[in-house]
Amino acid sequence: MNNVIFLIMRRMRAPLLVLIGVYSISVIGMTLMLGVDANGQAWYMNFYQAFYFVSYTATTIGFGEIPYAFSEAQRLWAMIVVYLTVIGWLYAISALLSLLQDESLRRVLVEHRFSKTVSRLREPFYLVCGYGDTGKALVHALETRSIRSVVIEIEQSHLDELSLENFAVYVPHLCADASKPYYLQEAGINHPRCAGVVAITNNNLVNLHVAITAKLLNPDIQVICRVDDQKIAANMASFGTEYVINPFEVFARQLQTTLHAPTLHILQQWFIGKWNKPLTADLKLPQQGLWVLCGYGRFGKAVYQELKEEPIQLVTIEATPAEMGAPKGEYVIGRGTEADTLKAANIEQAVGLVAGTNDDVDNLSIVMTARELNPNLFIVLRQNLADNAIIFEAARADIIMQPSKIIANYIWILLTTPLLERFMMLAEQEDEKWLLALLERLQQTVITSHPVLWEIKINQQNAPAIVKAINTGSVPTLQHLLSRPRERGERLNAVVLLCIRGDKMFLLPSEELALEVNDCLLLCGTQSASQWMHWNLKDEFVLHYLLTGEILSRSYLGRWWQNRGLI
Residues 282 and 401 in one domain: yes
Residue 537 reports pLDDT greater than 90:
yes
Residues 137 and 211 in one domain: yes
Residue 553 inside a domain? The answer is yes
Residues 351 and 457 in one domain: no
Which residues touch 431 (CB under 8 Å, ≥6 apart)?
A: none
Q: Is 296 exposed, middle or buried (0-12, 13-18, 19+ CB in 10 A)?
A: buried
Residue 566 reports pLDDT greater than 60:
no
Residue 110 inside a domain? The answer is no
Residue 383 inside a domain? The answer is yes
Q: What is the CATH number of the domain that holds 345?
A: 3.40.50.720
| Residues in a beta bridge with 505 | 500
Annotate 162-192 with b (16+ C-beta within 10 A) or e (fewer).
beeeeeeeebbbbbbbbbebebbbbbbbebe
Q: Which of 82-91, 179-188, 243-252, 360-369 has the lowest mean pLDDT?
A: 243-252
Residue 30 inside a domain? The answer is yes
Angle at 527 (CA atoms; ends 523, 531), nearest 5 degrees: 85
Residues 270 and 238 in one domain: no
Residue 284 inside a domain? The answer is yes
pLDDT score recorded for residue 114:
94
pLDDT score recorded for residue 558:
61
pLDDT score recorded for residue 61:
81
- Average confidence (pLDDT) over 217-240: 90
**pLDDT for 324-370, tens place per residue?**
777 777 888 888 899 999 999 999 999 989 998 889 999 999 999 99
Residues 483 and 338 in one domain: no
Residue 409 inside a domain? The answer is yes
Residues 294 and 401 in one domain: yes
Query: Rounded distance, CA 319 to CA 317, Å?
Result: 7
pLDDT score recorded for residue 555:
66
**pLDDT for 512-536, tens place per residue?**
999 999 999 999 999 899 999 999 9
Range of the domain at 554: 448-561
Residues 78 and 203 in one domain: no
Q: What is the CATH number of the domain that holds 526?
A: 3.30.70.1450
Residue 126 reports pLDDT greater than 70:
yes
Q: What's the pLDDT band for 449 if we cut at 50, 70, 90?
A: low
Q: Measuring CA to CA, how many Å separate 183 from each of 171, 173, 210, 213, 297?
A: 16, 11, 10, 11, 34
Q: Which of 13-27, 80-94, 150-164, 319-333 has the lowest mean pLDDT?
A: 319-333
pTM of the model: 0.76
pLDDT score recorded for residue 560:
63
Angle at 17 (CA atoms; ends 12, 22), nearest 5 degrees: 130
pLDDT score recorded for residue 300:
83
Report, in angstroms and rounded to the nearest whole number, the Rg of the chain calculated over CA atoms.
36
Residue 365 inside a domain? The answer is yes
| Residues in a beta bridge with 522 | 455, 498
Q: Is the peptide bond before 67 cis (omega within 30 degrees of 0)?
A: yes
Residues 352 and 266 in one domain: yes
- Give me the percent of the chain exceeding a pLDDT of 90: 48
What is the number of structural domains in the chain? 4
Query: Rounded distance, CA 193 to CA 196, Å?
Result: 9
Residue 304, Cβ neighbours under 10 Å: how many?
21
Residues 140 and 214 in one domain: yes
Select from 218, 245, 272 the last residue of a domain: 245
Residues 267 and 224 in one domain: no
Residue 210 reports pLDDT greater than 60:
yes
**pLDDT for 490-504, tens place per residue?**
999 999 999 999 999
Residue 251 inside a domain? The answer is no
Q: Measuring CA to CA, how many Å separate 447 from each of 77, 495, 525?
A: 90, 12, 8
Q: Which of 5-14, 330-339, 370-379, 458-467 has the lowest mean pLDDT?
A: 5-14
Residues 394 and 479 in one domain: no
Residues 275 and 354 in one domain: yes
**pLDDT for 37-96, tens place per residue?**
888 889 999 999 999 999 998 887 877 888 888 989 999 999 999 999 999 999 999 988
pLDDT score recorded for residue 342:
92
